[in-house]
Structure 1
């Protein structure tokens, strides 16, 4: 068994990060996202599925060019390779639990035009001030 506290996890951008390979010797990693209104990552994709559990607040997502709003209680799966981004909307923070089916985070950041400008492997690395790591 492995035990830790959320506040002891690395905090990057707007998220605590549980990196399975480093913190739990497991094949799953998790973002504990807590974003202020207007915050969220730019367009990106992962080579594995990403399951997002919205706990509080509201957000605006775009997945493969289709925009939609979701709120507390919604759960959805973003499949491997799907280009997605999201932003917290409204007056309260967006709080979500993002399960990445990988022992390490791998995120390919894309510009809004869809052209790649950075590929981050392993732990997230910011490629611009507009792209913060997420889920």
Structure 2
């Protein structure tokens, strides 16, 4: 079956869970973050792929901190704590891909 899903119909307006659509083995977050916004420290039992489309982000992956701009891809290894923040002055736009039919996250900080 073919699906056309308006962004507004995604969970919270930004989360696609492939399991809802014939068990597609991919989920993703459609991220649009204002400066200073991002995610808290967490980990997954699978690698996460961040497709940074626009803006600037600072990622903490394990013990490393890296800065990237739009046009880059960051891969966070499975079971390694990570987080990101929009460290630029404009919007951060990226797609965060989870190779799973549903996102599985363990939050490590409040």
Q: TM-score, normalised by structure 1?
A: 0.76
Query: How far is 1:7 from its partner?
Result: 2.2
Q: Does residue 64 of structure 1 match 2:62?
A: yes
Backbone CA RMSD of aligned residues: 1.3
Q: Which runs of 5+ in 2 are unaligned?
A: none
Residues 23-44 of structure 1 deviation map (CA, whole Å, 9 limit, x = unaligned): 4531110100000111111111
| Correspondence for 2:102 | 104
Work out the CA distance in 1 between the residues paired with 2:30 and 2:22: 15
Match of 1:17 among 5, 15, 18: 15
Greater than 3 Å deviation, 4+ residue runs: none
Count, aligned residues = 109
Change (3 A) 1:72 1:24: farther
Tell me the distance in 2 between the aligned counterparts of 1:11 and 1:36: 17
Q: Distance in 2 between matches of 1:9 and 1:42?
A: 21
Q: Normalising by structure 2, what TM-score?
A: 0.92
Change (3 A) 1:105 1:38: same
Task: Mark the runs of 5 or more structure 1 residues left unpaired by the alignment.
Answer: 112-127, 129-135
Deviation at residue 76 of structure 1 after TM alignment: 1.9
